[in-house]
Amino acid sequence: MECLNNQRNVFLVLIVTFTLFITYLHYSTLPQIHELHNVYAELYYLPILMGALVFGLKGSLLTYAGVSILYAPYILLNWTGSFSFAANKLSHAFFSGTIAVVAGFLADREKKLRNQTEKDHYLASLGRASAAIVHDLRSPLITIAGFANRIHEEKGDIREESQFIVNAARKMQLIVNDVMDFAKPVMLDVHQEDLGSIIKNACACCSAKAEEKEIDISVNIPSDTPMVSVDGLKMERALVNLMSNAIDASLIGNRVSVETEVNRYHLEIRIRDSGTGMDRETLENIFIPFYTKKSSGTGLGMAIAKKIIEEHKGGIHINSQEQTGTEIVVKLPNKPI
């Protein structure tokens, strides 16, 4: 909002400056040079259109009124009484006023349409988000309700069935944490950290998941990899999300490789898999919150990772081909943040 207000203030200064400069040209040029004065009069359309585009109908009308007030003394001082002079000035006033009204009206209509589109998009996104959250919470809720009812009826092994309830509650907690982490702003606690250690910790967090699919995680970190200014825990969280996606996309027995590359300006982390790859639709929407084609998960993992990386003034890029695999490239600045 502050940025938008600053932009509007800049345009306001430009409108006033253009208007005053054009008026100055009128008063500083000899009245006999009619061609130049006709050109100057046409230039008044610039601040009027700018007022319409930035401030809508109200802005264009106020600009038109300001132009008319500044231009009127010149007309009165140089009034010749001839029909052609009067017709020229009156027609210019009429057409510039008409343009001010039409341009302002169209700008206001476009703004209303854009706001309505954004509102519809927000409501649609909210609906998709709600549906995704409800879908992911429904399964553990059913588990909790089912086993709680069995315990209440004193059926089965209470110890075993209570463990199912605990596991389901933990899954719900992870879902809620994902939503909360995405909703709140990222607050970084930046220190000089060993990037290699961060990557290794992320790999260790994903090791159990990789073992379930018999996937080998290959790590290649040069010994001269420099220290980097990051929030170690949050960067580890981002890398875990990215590696977890790579493991999900891999087939049984595949390999996921993680390596780093250092140049003058960036530290690069490359995560490669030889799994199913992504189709065009998935690749275009992968960072959209709650977008997922997987049967489980909130679809927030990639969005959270991107958010964390960008807060570190870094970037993330994905190369993927269907049935070939995916490469995720994370770039971090090779200097203090």
94 in the same domain as 11: yes
Q: Are 213 and 121 contained in the same domain?
A: no
**Does residue 152 sit in the same domain as residue 10?**
yes
User: How many folded domains does the chain comprise?
Assistant: 2
- Tens digit of pLDDT for each residue in 16-30? 998 999 889 888 888
Residue 128 lies in domain = 1-184
Task: Please name the amino acid found at residue 97.
Answer: G
In this prediction, residue 327 carries a pLDDT of 94
Q: Are residues 148 and 225 in the same domain?
A: no
For helices 158-183 and 301-311, what crossing angle results, to 10°? 40
Which of 144, 163, 184 finishes a domain?
Answer: 184
221 and 293 housed in the same domain: yes
| pLDDT < 50 positions in the chain | none
Q: Are residues 99 and 229 in the same domain?
A: no
Last residue of a domain, one of 135, 161, 184: 184
Same domain, 100 and 2: yes
Contact 331, 265 (CB under 8 A): no
Give the residues across from 257 on adjacent strands.
Answer: 218, 272
196 and 119 belong to one structural domain: no
- 225 and 151 share a domain? no
Question: What is the reported pLDDT for 76?
Answer: 83
